[in-house]
Structure 1
Amino acid sequence: MSETKLSQIRRRNDPTNPTPRKSERTRQAILDAALKFLWTQPFRDLTVGKLMSLAGTSRSSFYQYFQDLHDLMETLLCGLEEDIFGVAAPWLQGEGDPIPLLEETMEGLVRVCYQQGPILRAVADAAPMDERLEKAWADFLKDFDDAVTDRIEQHQAAGLIKPFDARPIAISLNRMDAYLLIHHFGRRPRGNRESVREAILRVWILTLYGDKPLAESVPGSRAKRHAKPSRSKNS
């Protein structure tokens, strides 16, 4: 994630931020209304009038928080990126066995995108015809490509992953994730969370760590890894 985006996130989450609580509630109501709209309609059909009607506040209030609808979408995408990086921390930053860390990360990724999938779909769909959202989408993907590339290279240096060019693999894994998450969670009815999580997890483990750990990562594997060995009747 870029330093600029990190700074924006820190300011938004800073408890000393002087933004009045009522103003923050209004801003969040607008963001929530946008997400509600995007569950059923594309970004191209969104207008300030429709949005503020859903938010239950005046049209003029919109411009107190956002410059335009593109600014709104960039804010939604930035918030989603923050949430994904938050749940990805176990694998991106954690120490120890990478398989359970990856399991925890993918569980979080699916949970976040199950709730916010329309943001991914709206920006990805609009990007080819909208220069500003095209850049926002490209920057969003690049942040994850950079992070995954760095982590793969760290695990390669530690002997956990075999040597190969990390960048193309990181891009391939991230694009697969984006496609699956948009396809299954971009609109209602949504796909099965567990099926999507297992599909993504299997591909990541096989690609990065080989097939040996995969048998330990299927449903029920956590219990197997943490179960105490049974005592022999003759012991």
Structure 2
Amino acid sequence: MTGQVRTVDGRVAGRRGQETRQKLLDCLSEMLSTSPYRDVKVIDVARMAGTSPATFYQYFPDIEGAVLEIAEGVAKDAARLKELVADRSWAGKSGWTTAEELVDGFLGFAKEHESILRVLDLGTAEGDKRFNKIRLKILNSISQSLQEGIKELQAKGRVGAEVNPNAMAGLLTTLLSSVSGQQKGFEALGVKPKDLKPNLALLIYLGVTGKKPPK
């Protein structure tokens, strides 16, 4: 870890303290992948990390605070999603490639961070602004680039003025987010990833360009 890491009471944590803090976060992440968020307790996280609840509270006010810390890390990782859309062409076959790579990259990211994204969705649904802020930070990494792509196509006369770039980008990003969070549900319905991805890419391409993808 780099930079200063402070305890709840403001003290700067040393190397061992930073390692303990990170271990607690790693254990919490592991527990969230196998247990419902509301069932995770401080004592269980501390036990898995080989320390005590008192040590946990040195670094985090509660489970929620630790989850938000992990979520901030996921939001930083989401910066790479922007590369899937920013300054990419939406014309012809290049546009179809952009749509495919966006879907593949986003679904991969969502699967990698599935447990934290699920908690963010839960917190947002419950009206917690802290969770919603991080969730929007993640989605905006794509939404803003999609908006710019639509505006560029409008400037070239390829997309009609009746399309609101901000609204369309928001809708498409929400679609991506919703589908990514339901991948297991689609599989239960018999929809395999190899079938899901091209159909989702088709919706993204249609939403941005207003046209069918080239054959």
TM-score, normalising length: structure 1: 0.67
Alignment-derived partner of residue 38 in structure 2: 44
Structure 2: runs of 5 or more not aligned? 6-13
Alignment-derived partner of residue 64 in structure 1: 58
Alignment-derived partner of residue 222 in structure 1: none
Structure 1: runs of 5 or more not aligned? 1-11, 216-235
Alignment-derived partner of residue 207 in structure 2: 207
- Aligned residue type for 1:51: V
Per-residue deviation at 1:101? 3.7
Is 1:123–2:120 an aligned residue pair? yes
Alignment-derived partner of residue 87 in structure 2: 94
- Aligned residue type for 1:107: D
Per-residue deviation at 1:117? 0.7
Per-residue deviation at 1:90? 2.9
**CA distance in structure 1 between the aligned counterparts of 2:35 and 2:147, rounded to whole angstroms:** 40
Task: Return closer, same or farther for 1:100/1:124 CA change in 2, 3 Å cut-off.
Answer: same
TM-score, normalising length: structure 2: 0.72
Task: Return closer, same or farther for 1:195/1:57 CA change in 2, 3 Å cut-off.
Answer: farther
8 Å contact from structure 2 (residues 143, 169) kept in 1:
yes
**CA distance in structure 1 between the aligned counterparts of 2:82 and 2:168, rounded to whole angstroms:** 17
How big is each residue's C-alpha offset from its partner over 1:47-89, in whole Å with a ceiling of 9 and x where there is no partner? 1111122233322222233222221121222222222221332
8 Å contact from structure 1 (residues 48, 69) kept in 2:
yes
8 Å contact from structure 2 (residues 202, 213) kept in 1:
no
**CA distance in structure 2 between the aligned counterparts of 1:78 and 1:196, rounded to whole angstroms:** 29
**CA distance in structure 2 between the aligned counterparts of 1:26 and 1:185, rounded to whole angstroms:** 34
Alignment-derived partner of residue 225 in structure 1: none
**CA distance in structure 2 between the aligned counterparts of 1:102 and 1:22, rounded to whole angstroms:** 45
Q: Percent identity?
A: 20
RMSD of aligned residue pairs (Cα, Å): 3.1
Per-residue deviation at 1:24? 4.0
8 Å contact from structure 1 (residues 87, 109) kept in 2:
yes
Aligned residues: 194
Task: Return closer, same or farther for 1:214/1:68 CA change in 2, 3 Å cut-off.
Answer: farther
